[in-house]
């Protein structure tokens, strides 16, 4: 709960500030938080260049980034913050493509910040819908929290399943066998690897 709340609060502040500075419609890039137990080990944000690519390319980039977070930072939990959509009538709109519905003017579909957290093969979600106002203002609504579900199926399960699989990877053997000899150069190399797959990274270890 605290990790979800932290990621959501950070996203809300970031979104609000981006819109204030750059205008209505300014979207946030996908951001990943890698946790090692109770500690934040790494935060990484998709680059603007990668964010402009196709959903398939972005999914591959997140896959590669999450694998590096697990193997290099020994992440035990992953949180993803992304732009998305949420429905006021989930039963009536089940199975619909929300982005298309929103673009077509469906008033029951709203833009939202979505936070996905995966730990121990359990998935928790929180969404916070918003609308825009003038001048350069975000109007936030109450968040919706869905806690502790097992692996999610269907389209909503693509990223959670990806994170579950990433967290099953073995960590780098140097972390597992010789943690005392890890130097800053080790994490510098990981940061460069993350740039190569389309993410800007801050390490906290």
pLDDT digits (tens, 9 = 90+) for 132-151: 888 889 999 998 887 655 44
| Helix (H), strand (E) at residue 88 | none
Q: What is the mean pLDDT of residues 115-140?
A: 90
Q: Report pLDDT for 44.
A: 97
- φ/ψ region of 182 (left if φ > 0, alpha if ψ in -120 to 50, else beta) reads beta
Residue 155, pLDDT above cutoff 70:
no
Mean pLDDT of all residues belonging to the chain: 87
Q: From residue 32, how far is each of 4, 109, 118, 136 by CA, in Å?
A: 12, 25, 11, 26
């Amino acid at each position: 709960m605290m990790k979800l709340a932290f990621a959501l609060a950070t996203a809300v502040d970031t979104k609000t500030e981006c819109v204030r500075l750059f205008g209505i419609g300014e979207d946030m890039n996908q951001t990943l938080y890698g946790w090692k137990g109770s500690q934040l080990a790494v935060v990484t944000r998709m680059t603007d260049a990668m964010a402009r690519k196709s959903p398939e390319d972005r999914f591959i980039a997140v896959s590669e980034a999450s694998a590096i977070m697990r193997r290099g930072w020994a992440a035990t939990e992953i949180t993803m913050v992304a732009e998305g959509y949420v429905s006021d009538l989930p039963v009536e709109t089940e199975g619909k493509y929300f982005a298309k519905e929103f673009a077509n003017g469906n008033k029951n579909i709203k833009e939202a910040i979505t936070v996905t957290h995966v730990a121990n093969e359990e998935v928790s979600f929180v969404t916070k819908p918003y609308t825009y106002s003038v001048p350069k203002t975000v109007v936030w609504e109450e968040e919706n929290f869905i806690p502790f579900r097992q692996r999610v199926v269907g389209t909503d399960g693509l990223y959670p399943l990806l994170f579950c699989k990433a967290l099953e990877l073995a960590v780098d053997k140097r972390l597992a066998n010789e943690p005392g000899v890890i130097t800053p150069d080790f994490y510098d190399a990981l940061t460069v690897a993350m740039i190569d797959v389309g993410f800007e990274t801050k390490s906290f270890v």
